[in-house]
Amino acid sequence: MGSRVISSSFMLPPLALLYLLLTLSPTSAGEFDLTVQIQPGIHQCFFQTVTEKHKALEVDYQVIDGGDLNINFMLIHGADVLKQDSLKTDASHRVESPAPGEYQICFDNTFSYSAKKVVFFEVYLYDAEGVLEEEDVTKYAQAMDPEYKKRLEELGMTIQQFQVGGF
Query: What confidence score (pLDDT) does residue 29 get?
Result: 54
Number of domains into which the chain is organized:
1
98-136: per-residue pLDDT in tens? 999 999 999 999 999 999 999 999 999 998 888 886 655
Residue 107 lies in a domain: yes
Query: What confidence score (pLDDT) does residue 43 get?
Result: 95
Of the two residues 143 and 27, the one the predictor is more confident about is: 143
Whole-number Å distance between alpha carbons of 13 and 11 = 7
Look at residue 6 and tell me whether its pLDDT is greater than 70.
no
Q: Which domain holds residue 107?
A: 3-135
Query: What confidence score (pLDDT) does residue 26 get?
Result: 37
Residue 146 lies in a domain: no
Look at residue 77 and tell me whether its pLDDT is greater than 70.
yes
Residue 104 lies in a domain: yes
Query: What confidence score (pLDDT) does residue 161 get?
Result: 58
Query: What confidence score (pLDDT) does residue 158 get?
Result: 62
Q: Coil, strand or helix: which one is 43?
A: strand
10-63: per-residue pLDDT in tens? 444 444 444 444 444 333 358 889 999 999 999 999 999 999 999 999 999 999
Of the two residues 145 and 87, the one the predictor is more confident about is: 87
Mean pLDDT, range 125-152, rounded to an integer: 69
Residue 117 lies in a domain: yes
Q: Coil, strand or helix: which one is 21?
A: helix
Residue 131 lies in a domain: yes
Residue 155 lies in a domain: no
**CATH number, domain at 12?**
2.60.120.680
